[in-house]
Structure 1
């Protein structure tokens, strides 16, 4: 766990932030310095804490990885929250969690990725292998992007949204909402069923990290099924004592890394080093 001095020093490493093709980003340079062949790892945060690109970078900084680490903000989150802030976003979730929140966030983030990546590669002169990182909803985005591209050299999903239906059921129980499925929401759930679509990942090396205290039916079981069906290298790590979140609330600003997040970080770094050569 970082103490105050270490955390302030870590913040100084955050060398650049801004937007790339309209997408908010925060970038951390490679440990060995920029090179043309430097790998690029792009990550998306959770809707749970940490729920912004800066907070996710603090929770999972990929310490020691010799790669550009770029953290993107999800649509409708962080700097792109609706006018009413988190209250409005939560209201949309109560109204229609699939049609107004999970479905659009996943699709819009994946749709905007190619243009953002092109800008980032040009900006940093980084032409090396591509890795993807995501937490929860952000892991769903990473999986969606990997189904669309053939150049993803490694993927790490943490507390991953692998199947939408069991996640909506779990959230419904938590918030007392009985979600009414229909043809449109069923189509979104089918698209966001990466167990059923695992063949579209090709041979992308995929690591899924799930907390032992997270809801098994919504996160652990789908992750286990995806790993079992993967054509390429795949592994599942269960972190004892960890729930769904990777940071303390409110999760909007960078905060000291928790012990569980540090364990996640170490697993992610090992996977990316193995498959990106970073």
Structure 2
């Protein structure tokens, strides 16, 4: 089938690509999945396919997830969490996913019939931190961005782990580098931003979502999803699964959001100041 998922590797990064219904070059939306369920590119593609968009949706695999799991399980990642949740797990995962993105994007442009215009970016949970870092710390042209139950302030994520984290100078610098509230104006200048927040998400993460929208001003919008906790799928969340009702609500909101700005991209209209 023409619209069946396409799987491959882009500069060492696994991906699941969903093609648009129309032929010919089309805009590109790149996503990074959660480390909660759905925790692979294939599972994230099933949870949030955004099927009605006239664009390629390419879901990249996060480090040590999906096809990059060690020995086919998440055990190696869990060991890193136990070693040091911030410096061995959260920070290096976001750093690696961000650093490998430019080469992956170049490879995707060679492998798939995508146009060479600005892209859309989407991230869920820890993948949300990657999408925000692409906005804040790279020059990649972006026509619209969205995050879902995102890691907006990494200190809030670290606080979800048991015990008091023993910050030192290095770890404090690392965690603050992944605090996007102080950079809300930068994010807003780069691209319009949709912040999707489950009403049952972790309270601190939901508070961060509301704070980011307020700080970013009229370039950001909040989409609250009733009944949505943090995950978008049932465990184990590695293989594609039927879309849940709450994931469907997120999917519809994302589709409306990206469709709004895809129309401007197709017309050659500038979306955000560069």
TM > 0.5 = yes
CA distance in structure 2 between the partners assigned to 1:206 and 1:245 by the alignment: 21
What do the CA deviations read for 1:208-258 (whole angstroms, capped 9, x no partner)?
A: 1111111121x1111111111226621111111110000010000000000
Matches within 5 A, 1:104-253: 104-127=92-115, 128-147=117-136, 148-170=138-160, 172=161, 176-201=162-187, 202-217=189-204, 219-230=205-216, 233-253=219-239
Contact 1:203–1:231, Cα closer than 8 Å, also in 2: no
Contact 1:41–1:131, Cα closer than 8 Å, also in 2: yes
Aligned-residue Cα RMSD (Å) equals 1.7
Q: Which runs of 5+ in 1 are unaligned?
A: 1-8
Q: Compared with structure 1, are the counterparts of its residues 34 and 177 closer, same or farther at alpha carbon in structure 2 (3 Å cutoff)?
A: farther
Give 1:94 deviation, angstroms: 1.7
Q: Compared with structure 1, are the counterparts of its residues 84 and 57 closer, same or farther at alpha carbon in structure 2 (3 Å cutoff)?
A: closer
Counterpart selection for 2:74 from 78, 86, 101? 86
15-24 or 119-128, which moves further after superposition? 119-128
CA distance in structure 2 between the partners assigned to 1:114 and 1:232 by the alignment: 29
192-201 or 234-243, which moves further after superposition? 192-201
Partner of 2:43: 55
Contact 1:94–1:177, Cα closer than 8 Å, also in 2: no
What do the CA deviations read for 1:53-88 (whole angstroms, capped 9, x no partner)?
A: 000000000120110010000012222223483122
Give 1:111 deviation, angstroms: 0.5
Q: Which runs of 5+ in 2 are unaligned?
A: 267-274
Contact 1:129–1:276, Cα closer than 8 Å, also in 2: no
Give 1:138 deviation, angstroms: 0.7
- Secondary structure at the aligned position of 2:84 is classed as helix
Q: Compared with structure 1, are the counterparts of its residues 120 and 84 closer, same or farther at alpha carbon in structure 2 (3 Å cutoff)?
A: closer
Contact 2:64–2:74, Cα closer than 8 Å, also in 1: no
Partner of 2:271: none
CA distance in structure 2 between the partners assigned to 1:33 and 1:210 by the alignment: 34
CA distance in structure 2 between the partners assigned to 1:253 and 1:111 by the alignment: 26
Partner of 2:55: 67
CA distance in structure 2 between the partners assigned to 1:169 and 1:242 by the alignment: 21
Contact 1:41–1:67, Cα closer than 8 Å, also in 2: yes
- Secondary structure at the aligned position of 1:252 is classed as coil
Give 1:276 deviation, angstroms: 1.9
| Residue 43 (str. 1) matches residue 26 (str. 2) | no
Contact 2:135–2:190, Cα closer than 8 Å, also in 1: no
CA distance in structure 1 between the partners assigned to 2:190 and 2:77 by the alignment: 36
| Residue 30 (str. 1) matches residue 20 (str. 2) | yes
CA distance in structure 2 between the partners assigned to 1:126 and 1:98 by the alignment: 36
CA distance in structure 1 between the partners assigned to 2:251 and 2:132 by the alignment: 19
